[in-house]
A and B are shown apart, each in its own frame.
Chain A
Amino acid sequence: MEESPSMDDHQDSSLVVGVGLCDSAPLLWRLQDLKTVRSLGLVGALLGSLPRTPRQNQRLGRPLLLLPEEEKLLRDEEAAGALPGQNQDVGGVELQRRFEEDQQRSFEEQSVLALEDRKSALLRAMTSSHTGSESGAEAVDEALRRRLEALDHSFTFPQSAMAVQLSTARAGLSYCPEARAHLQANWPIREQNSPRSDARCQVFRDLRGRGFFLTSAGKFGGDFLVYPGDPLRFHAHFIAVCLMLDESVCLLDVLAVARLGSNVKKTVLLCSPT
């Protein structure tokens, strides 16, 4: 995991987070970026399969999807930049050469390890089967040595048995260092200019500034779920519903959202920015 070169900066955290755009959604791919973003107090949502246990829905893995408010916050604090797009021809040949080198190196390492593995398995099998017998230990040793020698000579590790690694973040990134300026230069502006999104943004900033952690609360009927600390350690205390200051709210809606809140044991906050 490499960090982008720390530039001279007025911020404490000089780490810049690289955001990739997929279908106009901001996604974070690199592990260091995820850590950075969490240290800034932004939670986001994981979308992908977890590599170790892919066929379950309880714990998901990278990429991390950012809320539009989170993305805006990062951009305003100049802590994020867009990752360069797929390298079409830039360093294509170079990348391929490196890839093949890596594959070869990995293959050699793996064949050595496979041989070691086989030998130890053989050792275990031979010694465990002869533990009871009294007939000469030397004979056993001799047989063992012969077997091991044969293995050394005849063992081949087929290419198809090699374990390959599928990288989550784009492999090419580790080869091309991105500069901060380069990152920010190609950030596509995707503003949502509705007053509602402005209201949401302001509420987000305010609550974040007070130290709360916020995630999306669509399934609770509100805008944000407000946690008093890291979501991994606490349950949410509040459901924040953002309204504009001059928006009139039907009383039935207020009753409905209050009922919802009491059912899930959370307090509903009606938030309006001034």
Chain B
Amino acid sequence: MGFSENGKQYLLPEEALYLMECGNVQVFYRDLPLSIQDGYERFLSSATVSLQQYQVFGHLKRLGYVVHRFDPSSEPSSYARQLNLPQSRDRAGRQLKRKRSPSPTATCSYTEAPVEPTVEKMEEDKCSLEGDHVKKLAASPDIQTATTSGSDEGRSWWTTDDLGASDKELHHSPTSRSSRWDFSSIPFPDVGSSERHPSCLAPPEPSLLPGDLTVGVCDIASWRRKINLRMVKMSSKEQKREEDKRRRRWDVNKDREVRRCRNWAEYHELLARRQRKRKGRPAHLWNREVTPLHDPRQPIPTGELLDKISVIKSTHLLEGASRLKGSEEWRICFNVYQPDTVADFKKSNPGKPYSRMCVCSFDGPVPDLRVIKLLAFQSGDIPVVFAVVDHGDISFYTFKDFQLPTDVFP
């Protein structure tokens, strides 16, 4: 407590009064000791520290906190904070015993920093693992290719040596030493060609498959029946039969909307409209000045879609706070530090405060958003606690910045 100036030790009035109440200090004025009543009446006023502020001060000191007056000019500016200058008093990295959950802020970089490197590191590890795996795989078939290059049956990327049923015309893969995939040498079976092919594809090499996956032989016979079909030329009688079969199911004249068309132009319009509706572009939405924000035919991830159609923009507490001018009634009174046993507090190097106090009363107005923004801006990244005094009882309230979570998986 107290400070020294000009070689003397000084005490602030609220500190002196607190020490008097604890019975540790006697204050003399004109050679007479002051009583506690004198202390209250002389030291507490709206010019120095008001009675309500002293109540909060005393309450916190009795609990063991270290309470200092707040000096707005001694706080680093927001730019300095953004640069994250390593101040000699900065103890942000240290873990304090009593942790509170910090409000998640977009501008707060140093609290998130420890999290990111670990995530990146994990991803890096994964990539390197995969890379190794790929390299390994690339290596082994090469070796096998080398050994079987002499054989007549080529070595395909798909078959193993056992199933040598390869009268497929596969390309030989020259021995390639590159560790990357050489796509020119990977043979793909030309299943659609009209030449004679077996009706099943051999399973891929098990070393290429992940884990315990086993793939059997693939039967492509049914598929091959559907390709390379020739067009069937039906005789006129057969064509008519097909059309009748179709027509019996649906008569266009029975359609009510078609009946409403009075001429061919309208009918064409009707057809065009139906076509567009089927394709997802109804006229009443798209043919006017105001069109929907997003064309449903274009694929877009859900998160981006939500952003695109959002009407409300989310903001954070400190937005616009730098433009606010200070007000007289609301100001931060005290810095509260945790005692030396929990955090490192030294008078020469107090470190960052645990919180900052603003004292008000239940008779007064509730702080509005403007006041909260102003005080949060003045305080920096340390939460502001409102100590509300009510005839001897003190309640502490704080406001935290909070972003609603968006439950979207991209």
**Chain A residues within CB distance 8 Å of chain B:** 20-23, 25, 27, 29, 45-49, 51, 54-57, 60, 62-63, 65, 67, 85-86, 92, 95-96, 99, 164, 166-171, 215-216, 218-219
Of the A-B pairs whose beta carbons lie under 8 Å apart in the complex, a sample of 7, sorted by A's number, is: A54-B22, A55-B64, A57-B62, A67-B391, A166-B36, A216-B392, A219-B362
Say yes or no: B362 contacts A218, CB within 8 Å. Answer: yes
A23: contacting residue among B33, B45, B59, B390, CB under 8 A: B45
- State the CA gap A218–B41 with chains docked (Å): 25
Asked if B37 is at the interface of the complex by the 8 Å CB criterion, the answer is: yes
Excluding A29-B36, A54-B21, 7 further A-B contacts by CB distance (< 8 Å) are A49-B21, A86-B38, A166-B26, A166-B35, A168-B36, A169-B35, A218-B390
How far is the CB of A251 from the nearest CB of chain B, in Å?
Answer: 20
Query: For A45, what are the chain B residues with a Cβ–Cβ distance below 8 Å?
Result: 391-393
B32 within 8 A of A: yes
Q: Please give, as numbers and ranges, the residues of chain B lying within 8 Å of A216 by CB-CB distance.
A: 390-393
Interface contact A166-B33, CB-CB below 8 Å:
yes
Of the residues B36, B42, B50, B388, contact of A48 by C-beta under 8 Å = B36
Q: In chain B, residues 1-45, which have Cβ atoms closer than 8 Å to a Cβ of chain A?
A: 18, 20-23, 26, 30-33, 35-38, 40-42, 44-45
> Measured between alpha carbons, how far is A42 from B254 in the docked complex, in Å?
92
Nearest to B361 among chain A residues (CB) is A218
Contact (Cβ within 8 A) A218 B391: yes
In the assembled complex, B270 has its CB within 8 A of some CB on chain A: no
How many residues on chain B are close to A (CB under 8 Å)?
Answer: 36
A271 to B38, CA, bound (A): 39
- Check B395 for interface membership: any CB of A closer than 8 A: yes
In the bound assembly, the distance between CA atoms of A95 and B33 in angstroms comes to 11
Tell me if B55 counts as interface (CB < 8 A to partner A). Answer: yes
Does B201 make an interface contact (CB < 8 A)? no
Beta-carbon nearest neighbor of B47 in chain A: A23
**B26 and A164 contact, CB distance less than 8 A:** yes
B63 interfacial contact with A, CB 8 Å: yes
> Which residues of A sit under 8 angstroms from B58, Cβ to Cβ?
48-49
Q: Taking CB as reference atom, which chain B residue is nearest A56?
A: B62
Contact of B392 with A86 in the complex, beta carbons under 8 Å? no
Most chain B beta-carbon neighbours within 10 Å: one of A23, A25, A57: A23
Bound Cα distance from A85 to B42, whole angstroms? 10
Q: Assess the B46–A23 pair: CB atoms within 8 A.
A: yes
Which residues of chain A have C-beta atoms less than 8 A from B45's C-beta? 23
Let me know if B191 is at the binding interface, CB within 8 A.
no
Task: Specify which chain B residues have a CB less than 8 angstroms from the CB of A218 in the assembled complex.
Answer: 361-362, 388, 390-391, 393, 395
Separation in Å of the B31 CB from the closest CB of chain A? 6
Which residues from chain A contact B33 at a C-beta distance below 8 Å? 99, 164, 166, 171
Check B392–A47 contact: CB distance below 8 A. yes
Q: Which residues of A contact B51 (CB under 8 A)?
A: 22-23, 25, 47
CA distance A219 to B397 in the complex (A): 11
CA distance A168 to B39 in the complex (A): 9
Query: How far apart are B20's CB and chain A's nearest CB, in angstroms?
Result: 6
A95 surroundings in chain B (CB, below 8 A):
32
Q: How far is the CB of B46 from chain A (nearest CB, A)?
A: 6
- Whether A60 lies near B22 (C-beta < 8 A) is no
CB distance from B96 to the nearest CB of A (A): 22
Interface string of B203-217 (1 = CB under 8 A from A): 000000000000000
Contact across chains for A22 and B40 when beta carbons are under 8 A apart: yes
Q: Which of A54, A55, A86 interacts with B41 by CB under 8 Å?
A: A86
Q: How far is the CB of A161 from chain B (nearest CB, A)?
A: 15
